Amino acid sequence: MSTFQSPLKTSVSLWSADLANLESDVRRVEPYADAFHLDVADGLYAPFLLFFPDLVAAIRKKTERPLDVHLITERPERWVPQFAEAGADTIIFYPDSTGNPREVIDMIRSRRLRVGLSLAVGNPMEMLDGYWERIDLVVVMGTAVGVKGVKTLAEGTLEKIRALVSRREERRLTFEIQADGAIRRDTVPLLREAGVDSIVPGSLLFAGDTAQCGSWLRSL
């Protein structure tokens, strides 16, 4: 049993759901989801397309769980209004995807949504300097952006999480630390030990015994 004061939280990635039976899969994993994670890709920041505002709005009608919209896009400022209207509770973006991260943060804040910044593999923690007091969530990517099925965390992932924990404690900040990518049975305990508050499980929950896996995650 974990010594953490709060249970490990899950923002379940719907990218790993059966996209032809999305409502059914949402219902199936909902008891083990604190939120749902929706990756939005424009084919520019990363070379693939995924999720769009109307689909997010449709999912919003099927669950009361918070929706975390992860903008894997160039110029995220173009997308914030649409996904806010679609029902997002948190909007996450990469600080190097825009020329003015502060402007994007202001756009999200003005809509009274949670703000998340995502650190790609190789992005240093210092990329968040100047924004620490204005963010609610830091997402640490454990795999290259847009790559699925990887079972091993990228080099430096755990060290980056530990550094974020230290920075949070030093400055008495309250942002949540979340791990996304390579979420597997053997990596989750390592991520939790390093200090993450939440993870983004995908196939880990959708494949195999969902109830057993969900209960195990709750115990960490």
Burial profile 126-140: b = 16 or more Cβ within 10 angstroms, e = fewer: ebbeebeebbbbbbb
**Amino acid letter, residue 77:** E
Mind listing the pLDDT tens digit for each residue in 62-88? 999 999 999 999 999 999 999 999 999
pLDDT > 70: what percent of the chain?
A: 98
Task: Give phi and psi for 160, each to the nearest 5.
Answer: -65, -40
**Residue 39 designated active-site:** yes
Q: How far apart are CA 31 and CA 111, in angstroms?
A: 28
pLDDT in tens, the chain (220 residues): 345 668 999 999 999 999 999 999 999 999 999 999 999 999 999 999 999 999 999 999 999 999 999 999 999 999 999 999 999 999 999 999 999 999 999 999 999 999 999 999 999 999 999 999 999 999 999 999 988 888 899 999 999 999 999 999 999 999 999 999 999 999 999 999 999 999 999 999 999 899 999 999 999 9
Selecting among 25, 42, 180, 197, the annotated active-site residue is 180
Beta bridge partners of 68: 37, 90
- Taking the complete model, does pTM exceed 0.75, yes or no? yes
Catalytic residue among 39, 42, 68, 197: 39
**Residues with Cβ < 8 Å from 129, sequence gap 6 or more?**
none
Domains of the chain in sequence order: 9-218 (3.20.20.70)
Q: Give residue-wise pLDDT tens across range 174-210.
A: 999 999 999 999 999 999 999 999 999 999 999 989 9
Give the pair of three-digit tokens for residue 98. Answer: 């825009």
As a whole number of angstroms, the distance between CA 77 and CA 72 comes to: 12
Exposure string over 11-21, b if 16+ CB within 10 A, otherwise e: bbbbbbbeeee
Phi-psi region of 167 (alpha: psi -120 to 50; beta: other; left: phi over 0): alpha
**Do 150 and 170 form a contact (C-beta atoms < 8 A)?**
no
Q: CB of 172 within 8 A of CB of 164?
A: no
